[in-house]
Amino acid sequence: MNLKKLTFFTALLFSSTLFAKNIPIQKAALVGDRIVEFIPAGFDKSKTPSLILKEEPLAKGSVPRNWKLRPTFTINDNKAAAYINLPAGISLYGGGEVTGPLLRNGKTIKLWNTDSGAYSVEEGKRLYQSHPWVMGVRQDGTAFGIIFDSSWKAELQTESNQIQFRTEGALFRTYIIDRESPQAVLKGLAELIGTIEMPPLWSLGYHQCRFSYLTEQRVREVADTFRSKKIPCDVIWMDIDYMDGYRVFTFHPKNYPNPTALNKDLHQKGFKTVYMIDPGVMVDKNYGIYNSGSASNVWVKNNDGSDYTGKAWPGDCTFPDFTNPQARNWWSGLYKDFLAKGIDGVWNDVNEPAINDNHLPESQRTGTMPTSIIHKGGGDLPAGPHLLYHNAYGRLMVEASRKGIIDANPNKRPFLLTRSNLLGGQRYAATWTGDNLASWDHLKLSVPMSITLGLSGQPFNGPDIGGFLENTSGELWANWLGFGVFMPFARGHACAGTNDKEPWAYGEEIERSSRIALERRYRLLPYLYTQFYNTSKTGLPVMAPVFFADAKDLKLRNEEQAFLMGENVLVIPAFAKNPALPAGIWEDLSLVEGDMTDKYQAKLKIKGGSIIPAGKIIQNTTERSFDPLTLLVCPNKKGSAEGQLYIDAGDGWGFKTGDYSLLSFNAKRVGNTVNIKLASKAGKRDAYKEIQKINAEVLINGKVYRGSGSLKSGIQVSLAK
């Protein structure tokens, strides 16, 4: 850049700062335990409604006198911003779905949900979701979190000495949580934005998907191969080609002529099914869904009052205006007949919304609706431009979808996956990290991406294992699956035109490794399900950074290869080189024959002082895995350990009225004997009937000592060997 240009840009930056007007804080109030709400003067809910908070916070007292973290609000050319100055030595995390490293110091992300196929692993690429949230961890292990409560198009910059949130819209509220630990901060985040609902057990199994399994026959072949080869799997997914000309809520008359029979057959083999539904509705006067939406006046409108149309998979499409309650109710109602065909779950995709505008001159392409479009609003939401509602479009869509799924099957827990979302949208849908690439860079990136989503309030997430775009080698697949099975959401997926990416597609060696990896996940389902129970209560992530083991250990702060599954299982992927690991007792954990010698498997370690519940090897979750139950026990230095197991029906809402059992176990070493017993039990479910036998494996100094017993008698394991 020459001197003349440098002078121009310096002057432009100076003038932008100079003309920014500082806005005083009109109100600051305590709205929770060490949670403070800051409202700038001139804030107007009709210009920046909250689509993030689960409910309106209530003031509970004054801001503590020693409260140090306070935002400075500014406005410049009707664009609001907030700045928070930081002391030295803060490690920053969060921002939701982002590329780049786990540690976010010195990073900038643009919050504008965008269809980003084969996205770069480097920092700065816009992705599918917006999470205006930052968590900071001080050197002493105390932590804070900041919510910028705005869905306007924005940029989030996390410098080591300052956090900046700059929007292209109106003033907004800011919430700051300041507590004793990162875990306590995330519990505060959950108090504000809510937690996930307890998912159905089957959704924690392995999922197999392809864009697309083109016929019912091919779906049956894939399902039958899983069963004949005894490779565990719970779910088969149907991408867009099951539809009739990509018309949502329809089925291809030739390739999917009888979805009811297909779903019934899959159910009999222990499979559930998930089908994709996009937001774009084909403009076709012979198409009932389009006619119904037009009659109900639910479409997004141009500013002249005509229906907005954009190109999507079917061609010219209209799009429901999900800001409007009438449109959301109409959309919800479409699921009743659709799910009546035996469909178990729904996948809402391309809901940024993604618009194919390649026919326009390059300078006019945005990949989405024009920002000037005014959404209708209604109820608690005001009318407003797409610049305000774009980042919330997918979030509002999944709210409507979830309601429709529950209305259609009120006695079942819904499973809904979304590509686009907003901070707080975990209340409605799980997510995945979008259209990744079959590459080692994306394999490695998938770990910090999923951890960061968990640190941003979305615990139910994971990547397309093996990579979605381009061909996947057997080495890449086996390495990715080897640790991907320990991520909260485990799905293999492949793009059209790429090679087959089922576990048996790479030859006998990789098939054997795939089986081992999936059997390991299924053995740990009792533990994983218990972690989902915990996250539904607390908001703590299922997949966590290793620094959660010791927030004061600075060498763990930027570890992004290894991760924690819950609090007590450490996962070290096969690709990891010299990972920073927490101190203390961590014993090697073997779950399946061959898992310690197979080069593709992640190493598992169990934390000293913990008891991990594990089940037997099963092929799907219709086979209950608690007969027998295995307790994996790793005593601490004092010879004691504890752990929990949560059990319910695996589906339905009975757990809300007491049909569950929360079992707490403890273990104590006395001489050469470890005594393991049931310490307490909560809930009305009869665990004694469900768990007939318990095996125990006690891990001490690299050795395994075994014993057996029951819930009533307990277990005594002798170490005298």
Q: What is the distance between the terminal CA atoms of the chain, rounded to a whole angstrom?
A: 74
Q: What band does 156 get if pLDDT is binned at 50, 70 and 90? A: very high
Edge-to-edge strands, sheet with 315-318: 281-282, 315-318, 310-312
Lowest-pLDDT range of 120-124, 291-295, 343-347, 622-626 = 120-124
Would you say residue 98 lies in a domain?
Answer: yes
Phi and psi based region of residue 280 (left: phi greater than 0; alpha: psi -120 to 50; beta: remaining): beta
What's the mean pLDDT in 461-481?
98
CATH number at residue 666: 2.60.40.1180
Q: CA 97, CA 425: separation in Å to the nearest integer?
A: 13
SS3 343: coil
Token digits of residue 108:
């900038």
Write the pLDDT tens digit of every residue in 664-676.
999 999 999 999 9
* Helix-helix angle 386-408:325-333, to 10 degrees: 40
Q: Which of 158, 193, 228 is the last residue of a domain?
A: 193
Place of tokens 């992705």: 127
Would you say residue 207 lies in a domain?
Answer: no
Flag whether pLDDT at 16 surpasses 70. Answer: no
pLDDT of res. 12? 39
Beta-bridge partners for 158: 107, 163
- Mean of pLDDT over the chain: 96
Q: Which of 156, 176, 193 is the last residue of a domain?
A: 193
Flag whether pLDDT at 346 surpasses 60. Answer: yes
Are 403 and 432 contacting, i.e. CB atoms less than 8 angstroms apart? Answer: no
Token digits of residue 161:
């000495």
What's the mean pLDDT in 490-500?
98
Would you say residue 306 lies in a domain?
Answer: no
Peptide bond into 212 cis (omega under 30): yes
Flag whether pLDDT at 7 surpasses 60. Answer: no
The residue segments making up the domain with residue 603 are 563-718
Q: How many CA atoms lie within 13 A of 589 on its CB side?
A: 29
Q: What band does 124 get if pLDDT is binned at 50, 70 and 90? A: low
Flag whether pLDDT at 295 surpasses 90. Answer: yes
Are 377 and 384 contacting, i.e. CB atoms less than 8 angstroms apart? Answer: yes
SS3 587: strand
pLDDT of res. 434? 97
CATH number at residue 133: 2.60.40.1760
What's the mean pLDDT in 80-95?
97
Peptide bond into 314 cis (omega under 30): no
Are 125 and 119 contacting, i.e. CB atoms less than 8 angstroms apart? Answer: yes
**CB contact set of 504 (below 8 Å; sequence gap of 6+):** 225, 229, 231, 511, 514
Write the pLDDT tens digit of every residue in 527-539.
999 999 999 999 9
CA distances 659 to 395, 528, 649, Å, are 31, 19, 8
Flag whether pLDDT at 378 surpasses 80. Answer: yes
Residue from 349, 464, 502, 560 carrying the catalytic annotation: 349
Flag whether pLDDT at 14 surpasses 70. Answer: no
**CB contact set of 12 (below 8 Å; sequence gap of 6+):** none
Would you say residue 569 lies in a domain?
Answer: yes
Q: CA 268, CA 224: separation in Å to the nearest integer?
A: 11
Flag whether pLDDT at 469 surpasses 50. Answer: yes
**CB contact set of 442 (below 8 Å; sequence gap of 6+):** 121, 436, 463, 467
Q: CA 73, CA 24: separation in Å to the nearest integer?
A: 7
Lowest-pLDDT range of 224-233, 349-358, 621-630 = 621-630
Write the pLDDT tens digit of every residue in 564-591.
999 999 999 999 999 999 999 999 999 9
435 is catalytic: yes
Are 63 and 37 contacting, i.e. CB atoms less than 8 angstroms apart? Answer: no
Domain count, the chain: 2
pLDDT of res. 594? 98
Would you say residue 632 lies in a domain?
Answer: yes
Would you say residue 224 lies in a domain?
Answer: no
Residue from 352, 502, 587, 651 carrying the catalytic annotation: 352
Q: Which of 193, 218, 252 is the last residue of a domain?
A: 193
Would you say residue 647 lies in a domain?
Answer: yes
Token digits of residue 415:
């499973």
Place of tokens 């016929």: 215
What's the mean pLDDT in 360-382?
93
595 is catalytic: no
pTM of the model: 0.96
Helix (H) or strand (E) holding 481, with range, is helix 474-484
Would you say residue 513 lies in a domain?
Answer: no
Residue from 435, 519, 559, 697 carrying the catalytic annotation: 435
Write the pLDDT tens digit of every residue in 45-78.
999 999 999 999 999 999 999 999 999 999 999 9
pLDDT of res. 5? 40
Q: CA 282, CA 314: separation in Å to the nearest integer?
A: 6
Flag whether pLDDT at 330 surpasses 60. Answer: yes
What's the mean pLDDT in 4-9?
39
